[in-house]
Amino acid sequence: MSKQIRVLLADDHAVLRAGLRALLNGQPDMEVVGEAEDGESAIREVTNLRPDVALLDVNMPHLDGLAAIPRLRLAAPEVRVLVLTMYDDEGYLRRALENGAAGYVLKKAADTEVMAAIRAVARGETYIYPSLTHLLVNRYLGRPEDARPSLSPSGLSERELAVLKLLAAGYTSLQVGEQLGLSGKTVETYKARLMDKLSLRSRAELVRYALRHGLLTTGD
Amino acid sequence: MSLRLLALADRVSIQVKIMGIVVGLVVLLGLGATYQLHAHLAEVLGRELDERAVSVARDLAARSSDLILTNNTYGLYELARDTLENNRDVRYVIVLGSDGTPLVHTLGSAISDALVEANAVTAQGRSHLEVLATEEGLIRDVAVPIFEGYAGTARVGLSDRRMVTELEASTRQLLIMTGVVSLLGLAFAYLLTIILTRPVSELVNVVRAVERGDLGSRVRPRTRDEIGVLGQAFNAMAESLARSHRQGEEYNQRLLRRNRELAALNLMASAVSQSRSLHDVLDTALDRSLQLTALAAGWVWLLEPDGTSLRLGAQLGFSDAGLPSSETQGRDECDCRAVIASGQARFVESAAGRCALLSRLGYYGHLSVPLVAKGRTLGVMNLAAATEREFAREELDILAAIGSQIGIALENARLWEEVTRKEELRVQLLDKIISAQEEERKRIARELHDETSQALTSLLVTLRLMEESSDQGEVRPRAREAREIAARTLAAVHGLARELRPSALDHLGLGPALEHHAREYATRHRLEIDFQLTGMEGLRLPPQVETTIYRVVQEALTNVARHAKARRVAVLLERRNDRVVGIVEDDGCGFDPKRFEMDGNESGLGLFGMRERAALVGGTLTIESCAGVGTTVFVEVPLVEVTVS
């Protein structure tokens, strides 16, 4: 029999911790070595106990889980961090991975996939909750519309280019008109024409086009 | 004394002075000449008398010597008498003997010794003249020796009476002459003074006329002397006086007019500031303008919010039949519209068919004054003129000022209306928010009660069943059932919590939270969504700003789903310098935001709420929409503090 996986539970809900502890301790290859109820105590416990895996909730008082990850990694680089959360937003997933988490699993799968996730990250793999993986794949492949061939802005007239830049900077047609000395209606006409020329279907595409061709400075 | 004389001279007229000078001169000259002549004649005649006395006495002496020597007394007497008779001036003849006794004399009875001794030949024996003062006047007594004194002495007394009489006569003549010449001189002087003083009195008359205010009086130039020059100078002075008087009059007029205008403006300003009723302001303005221009009738068109149709705001001086009404208001050919378009006052001649209304009423035309506020023309004030009429620059200026005042009043009325409407909307909004909040609570309570509680109850029951079950084969399916119930409940509660407040907004910030919402929204409503974040990397905004933009975008998306019939929606969040802009753009049916929000219906209230929400964090909401093109909602918020995590 292989070595037991030592697990630390960090969650502010005592009931959940108890349930998870019972569940994990019931597994032959796992052992819960400690618990923490907020970010700060999680860092403390991890530093003291040096578990193999830290199961970390995002929503905790004092220091939330996402913010705690970098400090945990700093205090104990060998500890694998597995984020257990309610949130299925791509943003959370990205932040967690960026901060150094080894895995991301949803609480609604607490009773099923947590064990597999703990085993995976303990093996040194990365575990991501299956329904979230498509988000990463999408990002990796890029957006479909961005793959379309984009026309060069040289086909635009000077006026159209000016209108494009200002629209991309988030100005209203009226504001663009004021800056260029045109009426709002005229700006609309220019906008329609240049979007047609560049085969752009929305303002968002227009902004991306401007970004790609260096026509937009974000004002930093 | 001399002072009094000078004062007297000051009092009398030039005429008297000149005549006095002339008469005085003549009299002085006459008297001088008379005195001189008198003195000279007296001397000459006296000397002649002397010589004649000596000559008579010598002649007497020569002729008497023989008679004395011959002792011819009678002859001597005859000689004496002859001498006396032949010379009218001889008063007496005395021949004295050598012893000094009178031989003969012509003095009648006796001769006084005093007379005999009164004169004598000189010691050298020469003749001697003695002037004797007697009762008959001065007597020139000459004593001549006869025969060198041996024969005696001849004496002759000559009276100067005749000489004196002649002297007096000629003096009198001279004096008479002087008098006559004086009179002549007086007459001449009178004429002279008339010539001299006539222009002066004329000048005086003109001066008095000018003094009385007749500035047109002028002196007729008659002479080229000093008085003529004075007259010309006076004319020039009167001319300049008249000119400055005219100018003063003009200034006065202008001042009066200005005063009238200012009074009118003042009245207007107080009417605008004191009266909240637009009606009062328009009536006052029209009334004042008509008074200022001395016209009888006028009316005011107000531009309706749609920017094309006109509404009658006020009218004065028209009979009921001729009242401008809605019948005339919409006519495009009326030149009032040109005035509204240009913002420049102008005169519209009805004759040219430019104003049907006035043409029908027989007016010549009307002056149209634009009512301007903040560079926008809000209406036009028309002053009708029955005949052709010129308007002075000042008049137009003051009317323009009145036009601006009305414009301000109109603008104020509009703002007042807007404030009132906003206040109404706010009350409605508050009402809606409160009831929405209550609705939301009700929904959550129901959700918790109906769904969560029910699920937990069934969980309880299932667990109880499991607890009581002794059959291992029965426990497993029940446990699976319980897990399924718990999973469903978890998902429902999770959804409920996120609906209430997306936790991503707190943990990850506006960008990720919006993106997540947009994607979920796209799935739920089967819309194509295009999300774009620009310049927002790692940017956290103040929580209330994030919440505001999130909620506004959320509501905009809800509106798109409800009303727009769109296929694609773009959601953008951009940072531009110190501002963050959230944009929701759809390709739906579009609408007229202005009209929509004014209606104050449910959705209009929603827009108003979004606008108010943006305003709370200093932001603005802009909606650009066009029927058939789609709608773009901009929520723009300035960044006061930026924290980068």
Asked whether B310 and B329 are in contact (CB, 8 A), the reply is yes
pLDDT exceeds 80 at position A45: yes
Are B509 and B402 found together in one domain? no
pLDDT digits (tens, 9 = 90+) for B327-369: 555 555 567 777 888 888 888 777 666 677 777 777 888 888 8
Given a cut of 50, whether residue A179 has pLDDT beyond it is yes
List of chain B residues with pLDDT < 70: 1, 275-276, 320-334, 351-354, 597-602, 641-645
Q: Does B503 touch chain A (CB under 8 A)?
A: yes
For residues B383 and B263, membership in a common domain is answered with yes
Name the DSSP class of A3: P
| Contacting residues of B for A138, CB less than 8 Å apart | none
Q: Where in chain A is the domain with CATH 1.10.10.10?
A: 146-212
The C-alpha of A102 sits at a distance from chain B's nearest C-alpha, in angstroms, of 19
pLDDT of A219 > 50? The answer is: no
pLDDT at A52 over 90: yes
A118-122, A214-218, B506-510, B523-527: range with lowest mean pLDDT: A214-218
Return the residue of B nearest to A174 by Cα.
B624
CB contact under 8 A, B626 and A107: no
| Chain A residue with the nearest C-alpha to that of B511 | A91
Dihedral of alpha carbons B233, B238, B240, B241, sign: positive
The CATH code that applies to domain A5-141 is 3.40.50.2300
Please state whether beta strands B630-638 and B579-586 pair in parallel, antiparallel, or not at all (unpaired): antiparallel
Closest by CA position to B238, among listed B219, B263, B255: B219
Asked whether residue B279 falls in the same domain as residue B404, the answer is yes
Edge-to-edge strand list for the sheet holding B128-134? B102-105, B90-96, B152-159, B137-146, B128-134
Q: Are A114 and A84 in contact (CB under 8 A)?
A: yes
A127-128 and B137-146 strand pairing: unpaired
Structure-token pair, residue A56: 């970390």
Q: How far is A169 from chain B (nearest CA, A)?
A: 7
ipTM of the complex: 0.74
Whether residue A201 and residue B574 make contact (CB cut-off 8 A), yes or no, is no
Q: Is B330 on the interface with A (CB under 8 A)?
A: no
| A55-79 per-position pLDDT tens digit | 999 888 888 888 899 999 998 999 9
What pLDDT is stored for residue A147 in this prediction?
47
Chain A residue closest to B532 (CA)? A204
Final residue before a domain boundary, out of B173, B195, B228: B173
Does B128 contact chain A (CB < 8 Å)? no
- The CA distance from A146 to A207, in Å, is 12
Residues of A in contact with B490 (CB under 8 A): 107-108
Q: At what angle do helices B543-559 and B602-616 cross, to 10 degrees?
A: 160
Distance of CA B259 to the CA centre of its chain: 10
The shortest C-alpha distance from A201 to chain B (Å) reads: 9
Provide the pLDDT confidence category of residue A150 given band limits of 50, 70 and 90. Answer: low
Q: Which of residues 429-488 of B touch A (CB under 8 A)?
A: 483, 487
Q: Cβ of B534 and A216 within 8 Å? A: yes
The answer to whether B574 contacts chain A (CB < 8 Å) is yes
- Give pLDDT, residue B553: 94
Residue B536 lies in a domain: yes
Between strands B90-96 and B102-105, the pairing is: antiparallel
DSSP β-bridge partners for residue B102:
B96
Q: A69 is written with which tokens?
A: 């990850």
Helix (H) or strand (E) holding B471: none
In this predicted structure, what is the pLDDT of residue A8? 94
Residue A80 has pLDDT above 90, yes or no: yes
What pLDDT is stored for residue B429 in this prediction? 85
> Rounded to the nearest 5°, which phi and psi values hold at B534?
-135, 125
Q: Is the pLDDT of residue A10 over 90?
A: yes
Whether residue A203 and residue B572 make contact (CB cut-off 8 A), yes or no, is yes
Compute the average pLDDT of residues A6-22. Answer: 89
B144: which residues sit within 8 A by CB, 6+ positions away?
A: B54, B57, B58, B60, B61, B121, B127, B153, B154, B155, B156
Give span(s): CATH 3.40.50.2300, chain A.
5-141
What is the chain B residue with the closest CA to A88? B516
B68 near B99, Cβ under 8 Å?
no
Are A108 and B534 a contacting pair at CB < 8 A?
Answer: no
Pairing of strands B365-373, B346-349: antiparallel
Find, in chain A, the residue whose alpha carbon is nearest to that of B505: A91
Which DSSP helix (H) or strand (E) runs through A198? none
Q: What is the largest CA-CA distance in chain B?
A: 242
SS (H, E, C) B281-349: HHHHHHHHHHHHHCCCEEEEEEECCCCCCEEEEEEECCCCCCCCCHHHHCCCCCCHHHHHHHCCCEEEE
The DSSP code sequence of B538-590 is: TEE--HHHHHHHHHHHHHHHHHIIIII--SEEEEEEEEETTEEEEEEEE-S--
Q: What is the CATH number of the domain that holds B333?
A: 3.30.450.40
Please tell me the total count of domains within chain B: 3
Task: Judge whether B80 lies within some domain.
Answer: yes
Structure tokens at A154: 């040289």
CA torsion A163→A166→A170→A174, rounded to 10°?
A: -60
Q: Which residues of chain A form beta strands (DSSP E)?
A: 5-10, 30-36, 53-57, 80-85, 103-106, 127-128
Q: With an 8 Å Cβ cutoff, are A220 and B535 in contact?
A: yes
Whether B248 is covered by a domain: the verdict is no
- Give the residue from B414, B429, B445 where a domain finishes: B414
Last residue of a domain, one of B138, B173, B208: B173
Here the CATH number for the domain that contains residue B75 is 3.30.450.20
Q: Are the C-beta atoms of B581 and B621 separated by less than 8 Å?
A: no
Q: Do strands A80-85 and A103-106 pair parallel, antiparallel, or not at all (unpaired)?
A: parallel
By the CB < 8 Å criterion, does B491 face chain A?
yes
Q: How far is CA A140 from CA A97, A136, B380, in A?
A: 14, 6, 65
Residue in chain A lying closest to B581 (CA) = A170
Q: What is the CATH number of domain A146-212?
A: 1.10.10.10
* Nearest-neighbour CA in chain A from B507: distance (Å): 8
Whether the CB of B570 is below 8 Å from some CB of chain A: the reply is: yes
Give the pLDDT confidence score for residue B642 in this predicted structure: 47
Q: Which residues pair with B630 in a beta bridge?
A: B626
Contacts of A145 in chain B (CB under 8 A): 530
Q: Check pLDDT > 70 for residue A183.
A: yes
Domain encompassing residue B396: 259-414
Residue B435 lies in a domain: no
How far A4 CA lies from chain B's nearest CA (Å)?
Answer: 27
Assess if residue B430 is contained within a domain.
no
